[in-house]
């Protein structure tokens, strides 16, 4: 995902290869996801919201947890700052990706 300030629900859904209805459902189920809404009611998610979706997606879709199980897991881990740690990991992944793109661009000029 590009480094934008806000992402529309379709962009978030595409990022995780899910339907927009699932994004709306997760938004209702997880209180820490609070998108802004435009005057027309369009949901606008921040990078932090997208990072939170990444955590939820990992727990539910990749680890196979239920929504209730993911909520419990996050509630228990909140005191251990694991959400913040995952945010740092996601930032590092984005930085690595950006550096790899720059490296490819720099390397392509060596013919």
pLDDT, tens only, 36-90? 999 999 999 998 899 889 889 989 998 899 999 999 988 887 655 556 666 677 7
What is the per-residue pLDDT for 82? 59
Q: What is the pLDDT of residue 86?
A: 67
Supply φ then ψ for residue 65, to 5 degrees.
Answer: -75, 155
Rounded mean pLDDT of 78-103?
A: 73
Q: Does domain 7-107 sit in CATH 3.50.50.60?
A: no
State how far the Cα of 80 lies from the Cα of 39, in Å rounded to an integer.
37
| 86/64 Cα distance (integer angstroms) | 18
């Amino acid at each position: 995902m590009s480094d934008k300030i806000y992402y529309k629900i379709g962009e978030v859904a595409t990022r995780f290869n899910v339907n927009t209805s699932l994004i709306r459902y997760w938004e209702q189920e997880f209180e820490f996801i609070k998108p802004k809404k435009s005057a027309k009611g369009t949901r606008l998610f921040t990078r932090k919201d997208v990072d939170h979706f990444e955590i939820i997606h990992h727990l539910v879709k990749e680890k196979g947890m239920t929504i209730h199980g993911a909520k419990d897991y996050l509630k228990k881990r909140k005191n251990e700052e694991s959400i913040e740690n995952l945010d740092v990991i996601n930032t590092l992944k984005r930085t690595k990706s950006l550096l790899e793109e720059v490296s490819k661009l720099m390397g392509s000029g060596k013919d």
